[in-house]
Amino acid sequence: MKNKLQKRKSVNLISLGCAKNLVDSEILLGGMNQTNLDIVKDPEEADTIIVNTCGFLDIAREESVNTILEAAELKNTGNLQELVVMGCLSERYPNEIKEEIPEIDRIFGSNDHRQIVSFLTGKDFSRDDPLFFRSLMTPKHYAYIKIAEGCDNGCTFCSIPIMRGLQKSRTIPAIMEEAERLAKNGTKELLVIAQDSTSYGYDLEEKVYLSDLIRELNTIKDIDWIRIHYAHPAFLSQRIIDSIAESEKVCNYLDMPIQHASDDILKSMRRDSSQNSIRNRITRLRDAVPGIALRTTLIVGYPGETEEHFESLRNFIEEIKFDRLGIFTYSEEEGTAAAALEDNVHRRVKDERKNALQDLQQDISLEKNELFIDKELKVIIDKSTDSLSVGRTEFDSPEIDNIVHVKGKAEVGSFTNVKIQEVNEYELIGEIVKS
């Protein structure tokens, strides 16, 4: 009788960092949802808080530590009894964070889903337990699908291999099974992610390629859009380009971080690329997929970056006119090869260079968006009220790219034709086209 009346443990999960981290959180949530745990949204109502941390870049580490500290405070002011930490920061600095924050009860790695649920429930779970199917933390109409963990590339600035290890690709059957289950649950857009998606499959006993996977995903009946993220320009083969061009469900979109465009800096970063090789890849992409939207990511202020190096980068951005652009200022990552270099670009200079590129990209983005005025675009609806809906075109990934403001109510998760009437640098505004 006593056990029947015993209060169920309430758990709050806080997920920080990138989309790959989000998938880890969703897998954990899937496991917890199949147990006798109550999942609550408000940390103040939780007996247990789990913080899935990010350990990549200073700003992310700071956010992770602050979040853990805020959660720890609830041991004094709220109901909190257990504080659990997982993710990249705990992979990298387990002893340090436990010493600095003694309120933490247990520390786990990024992929310790079963161990965490066992800790919370007191029950054992096998590695292939079917309970561990993801519970999405995104709207159900789109989902990230992680095709590999870790990375084999030796980029000097990156600590991912330190935290996540070398590349471990999933098999195509395993990915397809997950994708088909997501489709049955209402997912219409798959966002393919890995640390380097273009290297997918090289490490498997029976080698496969990203192109093979793309063509298989393209056959899933209820998936409408497939979006490819994190292509390394050095490994973007013609085979992959052709598969993107030939697969009708693959969005005219590619996220391809180039990091820089100066040959000297690219060499120092160990990117296996040159400005000309990147330009060649982009030309081939645009020839094969007319109208493709290209997103990239840059690092400014890398050790040794001179004004000449920066101008080479700036001129390249002006020439290529990427559709979407993210910019980071260099920060030293402990244990990386770049950490041995003198961080000799002043903070002020880093910020000035970042701002200069942001200003340039704003102009490019506005110029490109103005081309959509009076055009009809297919839009997937992410949010909706009675008078206004918000969505995205195939040229935009959620949370990071442009949005479309749609006048009127449209069903979340639906595809809607929208005539664009106004634009600014990062937004399109239009009305639903009546059929």
Ordered alpha helix ranges (H), 333-418: 347-370
Q: What is the pLDDT of residues 323-337, one digit of tens each?
A: 999 999 999 999 999
State yes or no: pLDDT of 4 exceeds 50. no
Full residue range of the structural domain in which residue 316 is found: 142-370
Domain boundary among 121, 150, 170: 121
Please state, in angstroms and rounded to a whole number, the distance separating the CA atoms of residues 372 and 90. Answer: 45
Does 265 reside within a domain? yes
Q: What confidence score (pLDDT) does residue 76 get? A: 86
Does 130 reside within a domain? no
Count of structural domains, the chain: 3
Residues 72 and 100 in one domain: yes
The residues, ordered by sequence, that sit 6+ positions from 62 with a Cβ below 8 Å of its Cβ are: none
Q: What confidence score (pLDDT) does residue 415 get? A: 97
For residue 296, the domain's CATH number is 3.80.30.20
Q: How many helices (H) and strands (E) does the chain have?
A: 14, 18
Q: What confidence score (pLDDT) does residue 91 get? A: 87
Q: What is the DSSP string of 306-340?
A: -HHHHHHHHHHHHHH--SEEEEEE----TTSGGGG
State yes or no: pLDDT of 2 exceeds 50. no
For residue 421, the domain's CATH number is 2.40.50.140
Does 1 reside within a domain? no
Residue 55 pLDDT class (50, 70, 90 cuts): confident
Q: What is the pLDDT of residues 336-355, one digit of tens each?
A: 999 999 999 999 999 999 99
| Mean pLDDT computed over every residue of the chain | 93
Residue 251 pLDDT class (50, 70, 90 cuts): very high
The residues, ordered by sequence, that sit 6+ positions from 34 with a Cβ below 8 Å of its Cβ are: 131
Residues 230 and 106 in one domain: no
Domain boundary among 92, 121, 150: 121
Domain boundary among 330, 348, 370: 370
The residues, ordered by sequence, that sit 6+ positions from 49 with a Cβ below 8 Å of its Cβ are: 11, 12, 13, 14, 43, 71, 74, 80, 82, 83, 84
> Which segments within 111-167 are labelled E, that is strand?
142-146, 148-149
Q: What is the pLDDT of residues 95-124, one digit of tens each?
A: 999 999 999 999 999 888 889 989 998 887
Residue 126 pLDDT class (50, 70, 90 cuts): low
- Under DSSP, the state recorded for 34 is T
Query: Strand 82-87 vs strand 106-107: parallel, antiparallel, or unpaired?
Result: parallel
Does 42 reside within a domain? yes
Residue 175 pLDDT class (50, 70, 90 cuts): very high
